[in-house]
Amino acid sequence: MTTNPEHPQQPTGAVPPPPAAGYGQPGAVPPPPAQGYGAPQGGYPPAGYGAPGVGAPLNDSDQRMWAIFAHVGGIITYFVAPLVIWLVFKGRGQFVEDQSKEALNWHITLVIAYVVGFITSFIVIGFVLIFVAALAQLIFGILAAVAASSNQYYRYPVALRLIK
Protein backbone atom coordinates (compact mmCIF):
# COMPACT_ATOMS: atom_id res chain seq x y z
CA MET A 1 0.00 0.00 0.00
CA THR A 2 1.38 3.40 -1.01
CA THR A 3 0.99 6.52 1.04
CA ASN A 4 0.33 10.09 0.03
CA PRO A 5 3.55 12.13 0.47
CA GLU A 6 1.64 15.14 1.83
CA HIS A 7 -0.23 13.03 4.38
CA PRO A 8 1.94 10.06 5.27
CA GLN A 9 -0.79 8.41 7.39
CA GLN A 10 -3.41 8.41 4.59
CA PRO A 11 -3.14 5.90 1.74
CA THR A 12 -3.49 7.17 -1.86
CA GLY A 13 -7.02 6.92 -3.25
CA ALA A 14 -8.68 6.82 0.16
CA VAL A 15 -11.62 9.10 0.78
CA PRO A 16 -10.87 11.84 3.34
CA PRO A 17 -13.14 12.00 6.39
CA PRO A 18 -16.04 14.51 6.35
CA PRO A 19 -15.57 17.87 8.06
CA ALA A 20 -16.43 18.00 11.75
CA ALA A 21 -19.41 20.39 11.60
CA GLY A 22 -20.28 21.16 7.97
CA TYR A 23 -23.57 21.85 6.25
CA GLY A 24 -25.94 18.96 6.80
CA GLN A 25 -24.16 17.84 9.96
CA PRO A 26 -25.73 18.13 13.41
CA GLY A 27 -24.99 21.52 14.94
CA ALA A 28 -24.03 23.07 11.60
CA VAL A 29 -25.14 26.58 10.66
CA PRO A 30 -27.11 26.69 7.36
CA PRO A 31 -25.75 28.95 4.62
CA PRO A 32 -27.30 32.43 4.30
CA PRO A 33 -30.25 32.76 1.86
CA ALA A 34 -29.39 33.63 -1.72
CA GLN A 35 -29.65 37.29 -2.60
CA GLY A 36 -29.26 39.34 -5.73
CA TYR A 37 -29.41 38.21 -9.33
CA GLY A 38 -30.63 34.66 -9.80
CA ALA A 39 -32.04 34.30 -6.29
CA PRO A 40 -35.36 32.47 -6.11
CA GLN A 41 -38.33 34.80 -5.79
CA GLY A 42 -41.21 33.22 -3.90
CA GLY A 43 -42.88 29.94 -4.68
CA TYR A 44 -44.36 28.47 -7.81
CA PRO A 45 -45.99 29.97 -9.78
CA PRO A 46 -44.26 33.35 -9.60
CA ALA A 47 -46.34 36.28 -8.48
CA GLY A 48 -48.48 37.90 -11.17
CA TYR A 49 -49.22 34.78 -13.18
CA GLY A 50 -52.80 33.90 -14.02
CA ALA A 51 -54.45 30.54 -14.29
CA PRO A 52 -52.37 27.41 -14.90
CA GLY A 53 -51.25 27.21 -18.50
CA VAL A 54 -51.65 30.96 -19.06
CA GLY A 55 -48.67 33.27 -18.84
CA ALA A 56 -48.47 36.57 -17.06
CA PRO A 57 -50.83 39.29 -18.25
CA LEU A 58 -49.13 41.66 -20.66
CA ASN A 59 -48.82 45.35 -19.91
CA ASP A 60 -50.09 47.92 -22.41
CA SER A 61 -46.76 48.52 -24.14
CA ASP A 62 -46.15 44.78 -24.63
CA GLN A 63 -49.66 44.31 -26.00
CA ARG A 64 -49.11 47.17 -28.41
CA MET A 65 -45.74 45.76 -29.51
CA TRP A 66 -47.12 42.26 -30.20
CA ALA A 67 -50.14 43.69 -32.03
CA ILE A 68 -47.77 45.63 -34.30
CA PHE A 69 -45.74 42.45 -34.86
CA ALA A 70 -48.92 40.58 -35.78
CA HIS A 71 -49.81 43.13 -38.47
CA VAL A 72 -46.30 43.66 -39.85
CA GLY A 73 -45.37 39.98 -39.53
CA GLY A 74 -48.36 39.12 -41.67
CA ILE A 75 -46.91 41.18 -44.50
CA ILE A 76 -43.83 38.98 -44.48
CA THR A 77 -45.16 35.56 -43.42
CA TYR A 78 -48.82 35.80 -44.49
CA PHE A 79 -50.88 34.13 -41.75
CA VAL A 80 -48.05 32.41 -39.82
CA ALA A 81 -46.94 35.31 -37.61
CA PRO A 82 -50.46 36.40 -36.61
CA LEU A 83 -51.38 32.76 -35.89
CA VAL A 84 -48.37 32.20 -33.64
CA ILE A 85 -48.90 35.50 -31.81
CA TRP A 86 -52.59 34.74 -31.31
CA LEU A 87 -51.89 31.24 -29.97
CA VAL A 88 -49.08 32.35 -27.67
CA PHE A 89 -50.74 35.45 -26.22
CA LYS A 90 -54.35 34.27 -26.14
CA GLY A 91 -55.79 35.12 -22.73
CA ARG A 92 -52.94 37.43 -21.76
CA GLY A 93 -54.36 40.69 -23.07
CA GLN A 94 -57.54 41.71 -24.87
CA PHE A 95 -55.86 44.15 -27.28
CA VAL A 96 -53.17 41.79 -28.58
CA GLU A 97 -55.68 38.93 -28.82
CA ASP A 98 -58.16 41.01 -30.81
CA GLN A 99 -55.57 42.50 -33.16
CA SER A 100 -53.79 39.20 -33.81
CA LYS A 101 -57.16 37.57 -34.66
CA GLU A 102 -57.95 40.48 -36.96
CA ALA A 103 -54.57 40.16 -38.70
CA LEU A 104 -55.04 36.38 -38.93
CA ASN A 105 -58.47 36.76 -40.55
CA TRP A 106 -57.10 39.33 -43.01
CA HIS A 107 -54.18 37.18 -44.07
CA ILE A 108 -56.32 34.06 -44.44
CA THR A 109 -58.54 36.15 -46.73
CA LEU A 110 -55.45 37.20 -48.70
CA VAL A 111 -54.25 33.60 -49.05
CA ILE A 112 -57.66 32.74 -50.51
CA ALA A 113 -57.32 35.69 -52.91
CA TYR A 114 -53.82 34.55 -53.93
CA VAL A 115 -55.03 31.01 -54.59
CA VAL A 116 -57.93 32.27 -56.70
CA GLY A 117 -55.54 34.60 -58.54
CA PHE A 118 -53.11 31.76 -59.18
CA ILE A 119 -55.87 29.49 -60.48
CA THR A 120 -57.22 32.20 -62.79
CA SER A 121 -53.77 33.37 -63.90
CA PHE A 122 -54.20 31.75 -67.31
CA ILE A 123 -56.41 34.75 -68.05
CA VAL A 124 -55.39 38.31 -67.30
CA ILE A 125 -57.79 38.73 -64.37
CA GLY A 126 -55.67 36.37 -62.22
CA PHE A 127 -52.56 38.54 -62.51
CA VAL A 128 -54.60 41.64 -61.70
CA LEU A 129 -56.09 39.92 -58.62
CA ILE A 130 -52.64 38.86 -57.37
CA PHE A 131 -51.30 42.40 -57.85
CA VAL A 132 -54.28 44.01 -56.10
CA ALA A 133 -54.06 41.52 -53.20
CA ALA A 134 -50.33 42.18 -52.74
CA LEU A 135 -50.86 45.94 -52.81
CA ALA A 136 -53.75 45.68 -50.31
CA GLN A 137 -51.64 43.46 -48.07
CA LEU A 138 -48.88 46.05 -47.92
CA ILE A 139 -51.06 49.16 -47.56
CA PHE A 140 -53.57 47.79 -45.05
CA GLY A 141 -50.85 46.02 -43.06
CA ILE A 142 -49.00 49.30 -42.60
CA LEU A 143 -52.21 51.15 -41.72
CA ALA A 144 -53.07 48.48 -39.16
CA ALA A 145 -49.58 48.62 -37.61
CA VAL A 146 -49.79 52.41 -37.31
CA ALA A 147 -53.22 52.14 -35.67
CA ALA A 148 -51.96 49.46 -33.27
CA SER A 149 -48.97 51.60 -32.35
CA SER A 150 -51.38 54.27 -31.06
CA ASN A 151 -53.48 51.66 -29.18
CA GLN A 152 -56.42 51.83 -31.59
CA TYR A 153 -58.41 48.80 -32.66
CA TYR A 154 -58.13 48.32 -36.44
CA ARG A 155 -60.54 46.48 -38.70
CA TYR A 156 -59.47 45.42 -42.18
CA PRO A 157 -62.10 46.51 -44.72
CA VAL A 158 -62.80 43.29 -46.64
CA ALA A 159 -61.57 40.52 -44.34
CA LEU A 160 -63.55 37.33 -43.85
CA ARG A 161 -64.15 36.90 -40.11
CA LEU A 162 -63.31 33.18 -39.93
CA ILE A 163 -61.67 33.22 -36.48
CA LYS A 164 -63.95 34.70 -33.84
Tell me, yes or no, whether 38 lies in a domain: no
Tell me, yes or no, whether 120 lies in a domain: yes
Please give the backbone phi and psi of residue 11, each rounded to the nearest 5 degrees, phi first.
-70, 155
Buried b (16+ CB within 10 A) or exposed e, 50-71: eeeeeeeebeeebbbebbbbbb
In the predicted model, is pLDDT for residue 109 greater than 90? yes
d(CA 76, CA 69): 10
Tell me, yes or no, whether 109 lies in a domain: yes
Tell me, yes or no, whether 20 lies in a domain: no
Tell me, yes or no, whether 55 lies in a domain: no
Domains contained in the chain, number: 1
**70-85: per-residue pLDDT in tens?**
999 989 998 899 999 9
Q: What is the arithmetic mean of pLDDT over 41-69?
A: 71
- The pLDDT score that the predictor gives to residue 154 is 93
Tell me, yes or no, whether 91 lies in a domain: yes
- Sequence-ordered list of residues with C-beta below 8 angstroms from that of 80, at least 6 positions apart, any chain: 73
Rg (Cα) of the chain, in Å, rounded? Answer: 30
- Sequence-ordered list of residues with C-beta below 8 angstroms from that of 42, at least 6 positions apart, any chain: none
The model's pTM is 0.64
Tell me, yes or no, whether 49 lies in a domain: no
d(CA 13, CA 128): 83
Question: Residue 131's domain spans which residues?
Answer: 60-149
Tell me, yes or no, whether 157 lies in a domain: no
